[in-house]
Amino acid sequence: MATDFAATREMFDLPEGVIYLDGNSLGPLPCAAAARVADCVTGEWGKMLITAWNRAGWMDLPRRLGDRIGRLIGAEKGTVVLGDTLSIKVYQALASALELRPDRRVILSDTGNFPSDLYMADGLVRTLGQGYELRTVAPEAVEDAIGPDLAVLMLTEVDYRTGRKHDMARLIAKAHATGALVVWDLAHSAGAIEVDLAGAGADFAVGCTYKYLNSGPGGPAFIYVAPHLAEKARPALSGWLGHDAPFAFDLDYRPGAGIERMRVGTPPILQMAALDASMDIWDRIDMADIRARSIALSQAFIRGVEATCPTLALASPRDPAGRGSQVSLRHPEGYAIMQALIARGVIGDFRAPDILRFGFTPLYTTMEDVEEATAILADIMATASWDRPDFRTRAKVT
């Protein structure tokens, strides 16, 4: 394996005494990000002021970072741009895709999709009116539900609760055969598993950077548009930085070249500085190494849990080929168990009603971490009294 994971672990500023298995929710701080953000604040903003848009290269950051992320998801050069949040990018991709299929009205998604994607689609359908429809089926039923009325198939590749992974190439092929376009949400894919957008023939893809890509809280989202569609897609969210000549201040909108038109407003430069530092790590990484190591870590976790915790049920697909880079377990007292784990320094998270999620992130998680986390979980399961009031299941507020 080419990647030296002992070395990459040293590139993260992890708190003492913590085993962090929640990088699928918010990645930890790359050591270099603190200095990079500080330099952006005091050296660029503070000293260059307005001139930093050109002198410090701020204006090009969304494209330059896009190319670096693009390499990790099999995107062609010049097809990915950063900006906004994932929800906004979902709206943007979906609206553009629908406009490219003007004679069709149906968006198909699944009930395992991240709710915000469904909410954004719902908002778009309401805005479009005219018979547009968002149809959702169970994840397993997606393939059979692809029919000739479909305008756009909108899916999250890896299920945020269970880690179940769709077969991207297969679903794209089926959708294309019926004349539909496909929008992929890569929130739990980018930096987690191997993705080959170009190879699979993806049309649109979107994703966030604060999970596996470690850009920090509220880091910008990204959007991919296939090269053959980029000049045809007309963004519904037509902001000035997606204009062909933003600083001509024309009164009429004229979309920029290719992926540039998917930019909207002024990009969040401090967040991009943090992402820039994180990408210095990712630039050296082969996603095949990440995937192999992620599978080794998660398989070890499953083996350990199943050997020691008989009441915890595996909620993720057992076959690693069928899941992303997380393992989920089910237990009626899941919330209380996660609180007990966090109190012991093992940070995962809980998703109602009964799912414990654990993300496996080879850049900074070792086999020893996995063994220790498994041992702590086994100890909690063996010694806890589930009928004590403080272990009662509560609705998680945030």
List binders of its own copies among 88-127 (CB under 8 A): 88, 91, 95, 111, 114-116, 118-120, 122-124, 126-127
Active-site residue, 357 included: yes
Structure tokens at 388: 């004590």
Could you say which of 207, 239, 320, 324 contacts its own copies (CB under 8 A)?
239
Active-site residue, 210 included: yes
Name the active-site residue from 84, 110, 159, 185.
185
3-state helix/strand/coil string of 68-120: HHHHHCCCCCCCEEECCCHHHHHHHHHHHHHHCCCCCCEEEEECCCCHHHHHH
For residue 155, what is the DSSP state?
E
**In the complex, minimum distance from the CB of residue 176 to its own copies, in angstroms, rounded to a whole number:** 25
Site for its own copies in 160-219 (CB under 8 A): 161, 208, 210, 216-219
With b meaning 16 or more CB within 10 Å and e meaning fewer, what string describes 272-292? bbbbbbbbebbeebebebbbb
Q: Which stretch binds its own copies (CB under 8 A): 164-172, 246-254, 281-289, 292-300?
A: 246-254
Torsion sign across C-alpha atoms 380, 381, 387, 390: positive
Site for its own copies in 31-50 (CB under 8 A): 33-34, 37-38, 41-42, 44-47, 49-50
19 touching its own copies, by CB under 8 A = no
Name the active-site residue from 36, 89, 164, 211.
211
Active-site residue, 4 included: no
Site for its own copies in 256-315 (CB under 8 A): 264-272, 274
249 touching its own copies, by CB under 8 A = yes
**In the complex, minimum distance from the CB of residue 203 to its own copies, in angstroms, rounded to a whole number:** 19
Structure tokens at 161: 């609760």
H or E stretch at 342: helix 334-343
Site for its own copies in 354-383 (CB under 8 A): none
Active-site residue, 364 included: no
With b meaning 16 or more CB within 10 Å and e meaning fewer, what string describes 345-367? ebbbbbbeebbbbbbbbbbbbee
In 3D, which of 302, 307, 303, 352 has the Cα closest to residue 331? 352
Active-site residue, 387 included: no
Name the active-site residue from 114, 224, 335, 358.
114
Q: Are 305 and 377 a contacting pair, CB within 8 Å? A: yes
- Strand, coil or helix: what is 206? strand
135 touching its own copies, by CB under 8 A = no
Site for its own copies in 45-84 (CB under 8 A): 45-47, 49-54, 58-59, 84
Provide the annotated active-site residues.
Answer: 114, 185, 210-211, 357
